[in-house]
């Protein structure tokens, strides 16, 4: 069974103890069959929507704790990352940064 990798644009909502929304942020979730991570550093819905799939992969690769290994796996195994319901290859220009730990 193959391990499929995904990045999904996401709206994050912080709730108080009564379930009321008190804060919102935007970003993405990255996950596969074994792990998940997230990024909520975008300022607005327009900001996250404006990001290309390649920009999202680059942002994920910049996270040395969880994201870089995710992108490294995709690159090493020649697996696409599914973004916006389409497979996206890891851009070759990112290959050098995937090994900086």
Q: What is the pLDDT of residue 93?
A: 86
The domain locations on the chain are 5-99
- By the 8 A CB rule, do 12 and 27 touch? yes
How many CA atoms, within 13 angstroms, populate the side-chain half-sphere of residue 28? 25
Angle at 61 between CA 56 and CA 63, to 5 degrees: 105
Residue 1 has pLDDT above 50, yes or no: no
Among 25-29, 65-69, 78-82, whose mean pLDDT is lowest?
Answer: 65-69
Interval 22-59: pLDDT, tens: 999 999 999 998 889 999 999 999 999 999 999 999 99
What mean pLDDT comes out for the span 68-73?
Answer: 91
């Amino acid at each position: 069974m193959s391990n499929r990798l995904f990045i999904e644009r996401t709206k994050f909502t912080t709730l108080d103890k009564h379930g009321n929304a008190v804060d919102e942020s935007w970003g993405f979730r990255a996950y596969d069959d074994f792990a998940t991570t997230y990024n909520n550093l975008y300022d607005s819905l327009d900001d996250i929507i404006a990001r290309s799939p390649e920009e999202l992969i680059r942002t994920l690769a910049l996270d040395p704790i969880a994201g870089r290994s995710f992108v490294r796996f995709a690159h090493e195994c020649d697996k696409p990352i599914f973004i916006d319901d389409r497979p996206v290859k890891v851009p070759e220009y990112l290959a050098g940064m995937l090994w900086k730990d």
